[in-house]
Amino acid sequence: MKKLLPTSTAGSLPKPSWLAEPEKLWSQWKLRDDELISGKQDALRVSLQEQHHSGIDIVSDGEQTRQHFVTTFIEHLSGVDFEKRETVKIRDRYDASVPTVVGPVSRPHPVFVEDAKFLRAQTDQPIKWALPGPMTMVDTLYDAHYKSRKDLAWEFAKILNEEAKDLEAAGVDIIQFDEPAFNVFFDEVSEWGVACLERAIEGLKCETVVHICYGYGIKANTDWKLTLGSEWRQYEQIFPKLQQSNIDIISLECHNSHVPIELLALIRGKKVMVGAIDVASETIETPEEVAATLREALKYVDADKLYPCTNCGMAPLPRDVARGKLSALHAGAEIVRKELA
Ligand SMILES: [Zn+2]
């Protein structure tokens, strides 16, 4: 990006109430068949228009065509049985009934490529596309076939690489891998998590991002945050490994979090998508609050490497709140851009 401090979102944006039940994750579609296909496309157009209108520089589909950031991708793979369910603990935090890996996993067809082509046709701005990361995918399944988190993650990494290459060919400028699991399984991140991520981006020419965070503003996550103490130092354990990796950009939560901002020094040299919008609160940040977070980050990130962003996805928020937060992000970045000029 030539523009200084280009803004973007971490991923999801609220869906219109005619498409899916609002203000919740995993909400059911309200349309079916052909109506659902065109409804998703209309929602994508609206989401894009809202990003344009708010002055967001790197735009996305707002994840309007998917029900969930991990599950929707997995639904399109073979080797996973969604009828056969087991209860597992996700991210060591909450129990969930999850599908079972019953055989070798593969991607019979591209998953998001048609959606990405559709988005590409609607805008000339740079576009970013989010995919789940291999470790986070493994962490949402019961594995009755590979019986090894590492082996399953490696297979997913190969599949993600196929999808990423097709997305790149469809004109996606930045591909993001969502790895909230990196914040929990530190030993595995070192042992195989980063290696799987690098396998997923192998051979790509477009820019790549890993998004790590403390999750959506859902109860399981806000309860977990209460147990983390006054200083959240989780990033400290994984940053050195990410700093040495081939990933171009690291996307993380900064605003209203207890992450000591000086930890950003551990990833010096990388581009950083700095979360300056709290997605766990319905209070809309002022532009000055956004600017304050960015100024703090600028102590550790060079200005040409700083990408103002949201802490995480905004799918569960009311639409007017999400719109207000997008505008605040734009206005806050503009304040700091003027100061730097
Ligand atoms: Zn996130």
Tell me how far the alpha carbon of residue 34 lies from the centroid of ligand 1, in angstroms.
Answer: 31
Tell me how far the alpha carbon of residue 245 lies from the centroid of ligand 1, in angstroms.
Answer: 20
Cβ-contact 175, 134 below 8 angstroms: no
10 Å CB burial of residue 257 (0-12, 13-18, 19+) is buried
Residue spans per domain, the chain: 33-340
Residue 137 to residue 285: CA distance in whole angstroms: 32
Over residues 281-288, the mean pLDDT reads: 97
Tell me how far the alpha carbon of residue 52 lies from the centroid of ligand 1, in angstroms.
Answer: 22
Tell me how far the alpha carbon of residue 258 lies from the centroid of ligand 1, in angstroms.
Answer: 15
Can you read off the two tokens belonging to residue 335?
A: 């304040």
What global pTM score does this model have?
Answer: 0.96
Q: State the DSSP string of 251-283.
A: EEE-TTS---GGGGGGGTTSEEEEE-S-TT--S
Tell me how far the alpha carbon of residue 168 lies from the centroid of ligand 1, in angstroms.
Answer: 22
**Three-state secondary structure of 212-255:** CCCCCCCHHHHHHHHCCCCCCCHHHHHHHHHHCCCCCEEEEECC
Tell me how far the alpha carbon of residue 314 lies from the centroid of ligand 1, in angstroms.
Answer: 9
pLDDT above 90: percentage of residues in the chain: 85
Over residues 133-159, the mean pLDDT reads: 97
pLDDT of 1 reads 67
Q: State the DSSP string of 63-86.
A: TTT-SSTTHHHHHTSEEEEEEEEE
Pick the CATH number of 33-340 from 3.40.720.10, 3.20.20.210, 3.40.640.10, 1.10.10.10: 3.20.20.210
Tell me how far the alpha carbon of residue 113 lies from the centroid of ligand 1, in angstroms.
Answer: 22
Cβ-contact 30, 51 below 8 angstroms: no
Tell me how far the alpha carbon of residue 275 lies from the centroid of ligand 1, in angstroms.
Answer: 10
Tell me how far the alpha carbon of residue 151 lies from the centroid of ligand 1, in angstroms.
Answer: 24
Over residues 198-225, the mean pLDDT reads: 91
Report the candidate in 40, 34, 140 with the shortest Cα–Cα distance to residue 95: 140
Tell me how far the alpha carbon of residue 44 lies from the centroid of ligand 1, in angstroms.
Answer: 20
